[in-house]
Every structure is written in C-alpha cells, then in structure tokens.
Amino acid sequence: MPITILIGAQWGDEGKGRAVDWLASSADIVARYAGGDNAGHTVALGSEVYKLHLVPSGILHENVVSIMGNGMVINPVNLVREIQSLREQGLDIGPERLVISSRAHIITPAHVELDRARELALGDEKIGTTLRGIGPAYLDKTNRAGIRTGDMLLDIEVFAERLSVAVAATNADLQQQGLASLDPTAAAESYLEAADYLRPYIKDVSIYLHEALKSGKRVVCEGAQGTMLDIDHGSYPFVTSSSPTAGGALTGLGVGPLFVERVIGVAKAFSTRVGGGPMPTELNGEIADRLRGTGANFWDEYGTTTGRPRRCGWLDVVMLRYAASVNGLSELMLTKMDILSGFDELKLAVAYQIDGRRHDYPPVTNEQLERAVPIYESLPGWRDDITGCRALDELPGAARNYVKRVAELCDVPIRSVSVGPEREQLVTIF
C-alpha cells in the first residue's frame, strides 16, 4: 500500500518541508493536498535554502513528480513567481515534473483584499492570518462561487470575464469598510499571463494518482499547516480554512483510504505558534527567547511566509496526543532536537488543569483552553552538541530519554528525530 501521509502535528512549521524531503528520496510522487501560499516549507541543501510556499517539497528530487491537489487554493501569479525563482535556484521545473489539479480553487486579488479587510475589521480579535486570501478563497469554494484552476483551460476571454466579475462583486464589500476598490480589468490582466504559463501543468490529478497507485508508484502526501490549525479539529476560529489533517489528504487529492500505509505526524521538540489563539505552554522571557533564536539563522523561529516571530513554549503533549488521535498517526517524527541542547531542565506538558479538573485531551472551547494550566513533567536536559548524531545510541542518554518519554505519553512510536536542518542531520529509529 503505497501512500504515506505526512501531517503537521502542532500549529504548523513543524519541519514538514525537511521531513518530506527525506521521505521523497524513496518516493515517486509528492502531493500537496491543502492550503495555499500561507504555507512556508523550508528545505536546506548544502549552501542552498529553498523556501517553498505552493510547490511541493518533492521538487528537489529529480525523479519525483510533484502534484498540487484539488484541496489547495492557488494564487496563479504567486505560483508562477515561485516556479521562476526556484528555476533561478537551479531547479528543473516543467509540466513533466509538476502537475496541478484542474479542480483546485484560484485565489483572486479580491480574496487577498478581503482577507486584509476582515482582519482589519476584527481589530484585537483578529486571527492573525497570513493575508494571502486563503479564508475568502475557501469561502467562495464552499459557497459554490469559486473559480477553479481548470477554468484556466477555457477560452481565455471566458476566464478573464469570470475573474473580472468575481473582482467587481467584492468591491462593494471593500468600499463598505473604507478600502479602495480594485480595478477588475487590471486585476484580470496579470492572471491571464499566469494562466497562459500554467496551462500545460493542469491535469486531472485524481485520475493521474489512481493510475500511478495501481502501477505501484509510491506517493507521499505533504501536509501544510498543522492539526491545531484544521478547520474542524483545530482551535476554531483561530485556524486556517482547510483540512490539513489525514482525512484532508484523501479529499484534497481524490484518492481512496485503502492505499494508505503510514500516517506520520511531524512535531517540533518544543511548541511554536504564529498568529492568534490560545497556546497553553507559551512562555515569555529567557526560555522562549532561546527556543526562538535571534533570527540570525534561517531555522530560527520567524515565519517563513510572513517573517513574524513565532510564539514559543515547552512541548505540549496534550496537543500531540490529540493529533495522534485525530490523524490516526502510525508514527511521529521529532524535529529541532538540537535546539534543546544546553538546557538544565526540560519540561513536557502532560495534561492540563482547568477549573480544578485534569484534562488529558484539549477542551473544545477556547475559553477553557485559555484557562488551561499545563501540568508539567520535568526531565533532565543535556549539554552535548547533538547536530552530528546519526543513530539513536549516539544521542546523549537524556535526549534518548526525552524521545522515549514523548512516545510513551502519546502512545505513538517515534521513528525519526532531526538534529539539524540539513538533509542528512537525521536519526532514524527502527
């Protein structure tokens, strides 16, 4: 059964890009199934650092076909820009290596403006979105008013007309909030160029994958965002508007569940979150600053898409346990273990105390989650630099103990631990 689904087990930015890059070395296809250019997946390869927003991380492997699924929302202008910039970094990208679903939805300039308008209107209550138009695009999709990538295959005049109508329709909303209107014709123009460029890449992805799976090809489904940002299972409304969890991979690509063999959850060895919403283990002060880094390194905790500093705290096992359950994780991968080197003591949030009661899973309302006091278990830290470790027995005892304890507390085996951002900085455990 040749599908491996890779999911972010926290609030996004767990290191999915580097995890997919690792899995892609034994895959034929890497397929993104949700989200859009709100994602920022970093893959470091020697002196090059690739920051992928829409293009799947499999693109770094010559023999892998990268697929963008129907569950995605795609800004065609930004996609063309990304393809061109990856080409400038030396990657060979053409329609034989990148396939775009004809059923994905298009993010229009109106969606981007509406995202901004909505966040402005929410004021202090804002979600802290990436302002890429993600929410408004999914809203049009479910409202059955969206424009799809397959529409770029239509007569170009028809596509232009659809875009102009969609942009003009949002001008009333923008004006109501005191924002400038968009010129529907100008907005359509840049999209026509992008449509021309992308047309050869657009195919029926579900059929493509079905044929590939039947002939024994191995597929890695690349999650974007994370479990706690899922529209159904995350800390609603502080979520994205798609389904990053395991079920989303099936609907977001049009493949059946019987092909799935592994569901890997990627979790950072500590917690980070960018944007608003509750985060029970959030810290402020020296520990958070150490976890975040100063921004001098590309792997420090500053958003790949927006540059915003990420909120940091100890590992929240309550959330991980929940992610294991929601996604049916078969295994976990722990990333950024190297960042924990040098602490005397490390803490794991093993449960929450809310209004005098112990919770082993997150409560459903944000009001309760805001009141959650983590119950911490303390573990000894380690001093050694672990960035050169490649096998479990090379890790210091305290690091091995940390990995073992997290696996026990989530009841999911940890089969890989990354100790640096580079491809080979990985400890695999069998």
Could you list the residues that contact ligand IMO (CB under 6 A)?
8, 11-13, 38-41, 127-130, 132, 134-135, 224-226, 229, 240-241, 274-275, 304
* Nearest partner of 396 among 321, 324, 346, 330, judged by Cα: 346
Q: For residue 260, what are the contacts with CB-CB under 8 A and spacing of at least 6?
A: 1, 3, 4, 5, 246, 249, 250
Residue 44: name its binding partner from ligand GDP, ligand IMO, Mg ion, none (Cβ under 5 to 8 Å by kind): ligand GDP
Residue 110: name its binding partner from ligand IMO, Mg ion, ligand GDP, none (Cβ under 5 to 8 Å by kind): none
Q: Are 82 and 54 in contact (CB under 8 A)?
A: yes
Give me the least distance between CB of 310 and ligand IMO, in Å please: 8
Give me the least distance between CB of 307 and ligand IMO, in Å please: 12
Our CB check for ligand GDP shows the closer of 341 and 366 to be 341
Q: For residue 127, what are the contacts with CB-CB under 8 A and spacing of at least 6?
A: 119, 135, 237, 238, 239, 275, 276, 277
Give me the least distance between CB of 418 and ligand GDP, in Å please: 3
Q: Are 6 and 220 in contact (CB under 8 A)?
A: yes
Residue 336: name its binding partner from ligand IMO, ligand GDP, Mg ion, none (Cβ under 5 to 8 Å by kind): ligand GDP
Give me the least distance between CB of 13 and ligand GDP, in Å please: 4
Give me the least distance between CB of 152 and ligand GDP, in Å please: 27
Q: For residue 96, what are the contacts with CB-CB under 8 A and spacing of at least 6?
A: 65
Our CB check for ligand GDP shows the closer of 103 and 336 to be 336
Give me the least distance between CB of 269 and Mg ion, in Å please: 16
* Nearest partner of 26 among 208, 212, 215, 219, judged by Cα: 219
Phi and psi (nearest 5°) for 170?
-90, -10
Our CB check for ligand IMO shows the closer of 135 and 374 to be 135
**Run of H or E including 131:** none
Q: How far apart are CA 53 and CA 225, in angstroms?
A: 11
Catalytic residue from among 21, 41, 115, 230:
41
Q: How far apart are CA 28 and CA 350, in angstroms?
A: 38
Residue holding tokens 């830290």? 381
Our CB check for Mg ion shows the closer of 164 and 272 to be 272
Residues that bind ligand GDP (CB under 6 A): 8, 12-18, 40-42, 44, 298-299, 304, 335-336, 338-339, 418-421
Give me the least distance between CB of 414 and Mg ion, in Å please: 21
Residue 420: name its binding partner from Mg ion, ligand GDP, ligand IMO, none (Cβ under 5 to 8 Å by kind): ligand GDP
Residue 241 Cα distances to 32, 138, 236, 278, 356, angstroms: 16, 6, 10, 17, 33
Residue 240: name its binding partner from ligand GDP, ligand IMO, Mg ion, none (Cβ under 5 to 8 Å by kind): ligand IMO
Contact pattern for Mg ion over residues 40 through 79, marking x by CB under 5 A: x---------------------------------------
Q: How far apart are CA 331 and CA 274, in angstroms?
A: 25
Give me the least distance between CB of 282 and ligand GDP, in Å please: 18
Residue 335: name its binding partner from ligand GDP, ligand IMO, Mg ion, none (Cβ under 5 to 8 Å by kind): ligand GDP
Q: Are 103 and 135 in contact (CB under 8 A)?
A: no
Residue 374: name its binding partner from ligand IMO, Mg ion, ligand GDP, none (Cβ under 5 to 8 Å by kind): none
Based on the residue annotation, tell me whether 151 is a catalytic residue of this protein: no
| Helices within 222-296 (DSSP H only) | 246-251, 286-292
Contacts of Mg ion in 7-26 (CB under 5 A): 13
Our CB check for ligand IMO shows the closer of 164 and 335 to be 335
Contacts 24+ apart (CB under 8 A), 166-169: 166/108, 166/110, 166/140, 167/108, 167/109, 167/110, 169/110
Cis amide bond preceding 237, omega within 30: yes
Our CB check for ligand GDP shows the closer of 40 and 275 to be 40
Q: Are 56 and 31 in contact (CB under 8 A)?
A: yes
Catalytic residue from among 13, 230, 316, 338:
13
Contact pattern for Mg ion over residues 301 through 340, marking x by CB under 5 A: ---x------------------------------------
Q: How far apart are CA 185 and CA 163, in angstroms?
A: 9
Based on the residue annotation, tell me whether 384 is a catalytic residue of this protein: no
Our CB check for Mg ion shows the closer of 52 and 137 to be 52
Our CB check for ligand IMO shows the closer of 70 and 129 to be 129
Adjacent-strand bridge partners of 277: none
Which residues are catalytic, by number?
Answer: 13, 41
Binding site for Mg ion (CB under 5 A): 13, 40, 304
